[in-house]
Structure 1
Amino acid sequence: MMNKVISSTQNSYIKELVFLKEKSRARKKSGLFLIEGAREIALALKGGYEIDTILFYPELFSEDHLKELIGDFTNCIEVSKDVYQKLAHRDTTEGVLAVAKSKLHALESVILKTKKPLILVAEAPEKPGNIGAILRTADAANVDLVIIANPKSDLYNPNIIRSSVGCVFTNQIAMGSTEEIINYLNEKQIHIYCAALQASVNYHTQDYTQPTALVVGTEATGLSQEWLDAATQNIIIPMQGEIDSMNLSVAAGILIFEAKRQRNFL
């Protein structure tokens, strides 16, 4: 295998990749983003992502490993330790990175493979760690669709990819405004259950075996009035301590797995 070699952190292409790593606007403008780690790259390939370039540091990731990961893919660049450390986001890593092409995540491109889908909607989540955790939970429960309403974070932020352990690639994800998403759910005749304090019933009293969207908001502000007005029913997770809210991803997990329990984990 004959690979191009880049050893300088001042190389113009490497500088472009540093911008991709650090700047959301660079990712949006180019339609490219970085993936770090063999597992994450493998999940991206499984999720139908197109790989533009592979970069690897041979002392950590051999050409044999590279071939196992990506077969006869030819656009591979061997990089020095300094270059790799400049591009890597994690402290402990495997020596391989991919430059991949992003997806659009439009609602109109969603494919629901069942007549009774289970959908998770998160409104305006800000913290990449929370988004990553939500995506891990959604993958574990094999939900049909994750929708992010009024997104505050770029989906290809390295912290989201890392905290989701690659589940950003395994879930079907769509994004849009709250209004667009409510219209979409209504058109599909999907019941909307909003996690909220107002006019709520205990979450486990509802039937989630029908087409269901579970909607969660941020801990700080909760859901917007638009969601509360659109809800089939507001639901609440009873609290027995001193506070009246819990971590967004934890709440999402409780609701999702109650729905899965009712569906007998089918």
Structure 2
Amino acid sequence: MKHISSPHNAIVRHVEQLQRKSKTRKKEGLFIIEGHREIQLAVRGGFEIEKLLVCGSILLENEDYTPQDVYQKLDIDTTPEVISVTSEVYEKIAYRSGTEGCIAFAKAKSLSLSDLQLTEQPLILIAESVEKPGNLGALLRTADAAKVDAVIIANPTGDLYNPNVVRSSLGCVFTVPTAMGTTKEVTDFLKKSSIDLYAATLQSSERYDAIDYKKGSAIAVGTEATGLSEELRAAATANIIIPMSGEIDSMNVSVSAAILIFEAKRQRDFK
């Protein structure tokens, strides 16, 4: 088993590059996962783990361990390369303050719309131009909680494998089938798949709970600042709105998405 004691090691520098640079992640098709639960969810979600950097004193409370001990601790059935690192090295590369002693190199999956495998009457969450990693992570948590068939990110402004997205999603970035595309690509895909599109917007809208979501349905939400694009609204089967009684006319995008998605799930008897 390899051991790294220098914070200037090439592998350590590689971790830092993958954490900081979206360009590096996209070029190499690799990204970093930190944390016990997140690594488990990635493996269960079919992501390939290339190698694990492990601080034995944190993960196992023991410096004398084997790769099999690591696999057992993480409860994973894959056998990636295990590299031990000192606590000093781990503190340098750990992205989160609450560390768990394990960091993984993982291979990115295809995010092509054509790779989505949908049920006959799918329920899909569309997120258009969501900028903040925290909001995107929260949307993925909502999608996981509702067990939607897919999340589609239209006109993406960021990187799905940004460490902040992985962290804020609590690993749900690995549990929900996800794809990306331009708004036109997304609306064309929905039309071709005979999936109704419902756009959450203020303009010419019906109450969200007056819509029948039992057929194949996609619910689209946008940013709080600008909402959904005119292009997406024009392609919608209907515009929908959540009635509000207060002084403001918008909510956090993840809150709005949760209300809309769980109404669709209620109509489907949460199946």
TM-score (norm 2): 0.95
Aligned to 1:227: 232
Residues in 1 aligned to 2:158 and 2:91: alpha-carbon distance in whole angstroms: 25
Moved >3 Å (runs of 4+)? none
Residues in 2 aligned to 1:80 and 1:97: alpha-carbon distance in whole angstroms: 13
Residues in 2 aligned to 1:71 and 1:109: alpha-carbon distance in whole angstroms: 25
Cα distance change of structure 1 residues 209 and 55 upon mapping to structure 2, 3 Å threshold: same
Match of 1:252 among 236, 247, 257: 257
> Which ranges of structure 2 fall in alignment gaps of 5 or more residues?
none
Residue 228 of structure 1: CA displacement?
1.0
Aligned to 2:245: 240
> Which ranges of structure 1 fall in alignment gaps of 5 or more residues?
none
**Aligned: 1:35 with 2:30:** no
Aligned to 1:84: 90
Aligned to 1:10: 8
Match of 1:201 among 200, 206, 224: 206
**Aligned: 1:178 with 2:183:** yes
**Identity over aligned pairs, percent:** 55
Aligned to 2:167: 162
Cα distance change of structure 1 residues 65 and 125 upon mapping to structure 2, 3 Å threshold: farther
Q: Which digits, 9 at most, give the CA deviation of each residue in 1:37-94, with x for residues without a partner?
A: 1110010000000011100001011246512124572511000112111111110121
Aligned to 1:66: 70
Cα distance change of structure 1 residues 76 and 133 upon mapping to structure 2, 3 Å threshold: same
TM-score (norm 1): 0.97
Cα distance change of structure 1 residues 235 and 103 upon mapping to structure 2, 3 Å threshold: same
Q: Residue type matched to 2:70 in 1? A: L
Q: How does 1:67-216 map to 2 (within 5 A)?
A: 67-68=71-72, 69=74, 70-71=76-77, 73=79, 75-112=81-118, 114-216=119-221
Aligned to 1:53: 51
Name the SS for the 1:49 alignment partner. coil
Aligned to 1:21: 19
- Given that residues 49 and 80 in structure 2 are in contact (C-alpha distance below 8 angstroms), is that contact kept between their aligned partners in structure 1? no
Residues in 1 aligned to 2:77 and 2:58: alpha-carbon distance in whole angstroms: 18
Q: Which digits, 9 at most, give the CA deviation of each residue in 1:186-215, with x for residues without a partner?
A: 001111100000000110000000110000
Q: CA RMSD in A?
A: 1.1
Q: Which digits, 9 at most, give the CA deviation of each residue in 1:89-130, with x for residues without a partner?
A: 110121001000011210011101x21100000001000110
Cα distance change of structure 1 residues 117 and 92 upon mapping to structure 2, 3 Å threshold: same
Cα distance change of structure 1 residues 207 and 13 upon mapping to structure 2, 3 Å threshold: same
Q: Residue type matched to 2:109 in 1? A: K
Name the SS for the 1:168 alignment partner. helix
Name the SS for the 2:239 alignment partner. strand
Q: Residue type matched to 2:5 in 1? A: S
Q: Residue type matched to 1:100 in 2? A: A
Q: Which digits, 9 at most, give the CA deviation of each residue in 1:195-251, with x for residues without a partner?
A: 000000110000000110000010000000011111110000011111111000000
